[in-house]
Amino acid sequence: MHIKSLKKCSTTKARAGEFETAHGKVKTPVFMPVGTVGSVKSLSPHDLVDTGSQVILGNTYHLLLRPGMDVIKSAGGLHRFMSWERPILTDSGGYQVFSLGHLNEITETGVIFQSNLDGSRHELSPEISTDIQRVLGADIVMAFDECTAYPATESLARESMALTHRWEKRSLEHFRKTEALHGFDQHLFGIVQGSVYEELRKACAAALVDMGFDGYAIGGLSVGEPKEDMYAMTDVVTDILPNDQPRYLMGVGKPEDMVRAVALGVDMFDCVLPTRNARHGIMFTWKGPVSVKAAREKFNHEPLDQNCSCYTCENFTRSYLRHLFKANELLVYRLASIHNIHFYHELMTAMRKAILEDSFADFQKRFFEHYHLKRAE
């Protein structure tokens, strides 16, 4: 897998390009909405296409527990199960095993954990995770890694990284030995760990590049560390990753973080923030996040954003959205999610345009002049 038509900014590390998958082309920088349990919460595939979604994410952990691999396999994979025709990236399941806190045992082989839903025991390993993602039919499969807890001492982070290397190598070997089940090619990304330690991040990136993945993710960030550490680690890693392959900063993020990360050479993002915030009435605009539930919106018969072309802004007012939130009307979770996902994609489109016109530094400056980080509070 290669980044094609790569255009690099002359003053930052920002890049625009595109890559191919069996389910179509993806233009970068790209934001991937999170389809946790087989749907991007409240949105239909049609809504996703309409908002400009090029590729979505599926969570191995959640799909393994519900509906289970037997169902998805018999459906012919996740694309067919959820009626999504564009690319899908699935994670390895590791992050949820570590973060949802029902981990029973971790050995060299892998992990044994209990479902957060019914307590049932399950196993994940580099081989099992790869097999599951084969069944899901992800266009992009993620290697199985240990997500280092934050904070971690350097020696713990080093140990964790070493395990991650062995696991990712097994992921790669197993991926190469196994075949796609649903008649199309899949790709495997490695994940750079190393906590907030520059030397570890460098060593990890170099080791993974040496193994030779189709693309590279930066993991273990946006987990509570200072923002400056997140940017510094990203900066260090993108210096080492191959220019002609995609780079994915996992679990990021906020608009301001994505703009900073694009400047540091990241191509791909995912985050539950736009959909989760939408369900709480926090809407993203170019002026910053806005709480549409606020009393000041009661008689505001203007759209969220006059210039926004999403279905929500073209048809509904802030007053109406506020009313729907106050009345707990189901419709509003979708309308709000449509706007936020559309905004995230528009942000990516604007960055891509700026990079292609070699005006990204200007874009970044203007973005931070207008975007108020805390307006919603």
Cα 313 versus chain centre, distance = 25
Choose between 97 and 324: whose C-beta lies nearer to its own copies: 324
Q: Does 46 bind its own copies (CB under 8 A)?
A: yes
Contact criterion met (CB below 8 Å) for 200 and 233: no
Query: Distance between CA 345 and CA 342 in Å, rounded?
Result: 5
For residue 323, state whether it binds its own copies (rule: CB under 8 A).
yes
Our finding on whether 52 is near its own copies (CB under 8 A) is no
Nearest approach, Cβ of residue 74 and its own copies (Å):
5
Q: Is 139 a catalytic residue?
A: no
Contacts of 40 (CB under 8 A, 6+ apart): 33, 34, 48, 53, 56, 275, 337, 341
Size of the site for its own copies (CB under 8 A): 41
Of the pair 68, 151, the CB lying nearest its own copies is at 68
Pair of tokens at residue 141: 């499969």
Shorter beta-carbon distance to its own copies: residue 120 or 330: 330
Residue 231 touching its own copies (CB under 8 A): no
Give the Cα separation of 297 and 319 in Å (integer): 5
By CB neighbour count within 10 A (0-12 exposed, 13-18 middle, 19+ buried), where does 92 fall? buried
Q: What is the DSSP string of 186-238?
A: -EEEEEE--TT-HHHHHHHHHHHHHH--SEEEE-S-SSSS-HHHHHHHHHHHH
Site string for its own copies, 83-122 (x = CB under 8 A): x---------------------------------------
Residue 302 as a binder of its own copies (CB under 8 A): the answer is no
Q: 47, 145, 214, 270: which is the annotated catalytic residue? A: 270
x/- mask, its own copies, residues 239-278, rule CB under 8 A, reads ----------------------------------------
Under the binding rule (CB under 8 A), the answer on residue 317 touching its own copies is yes
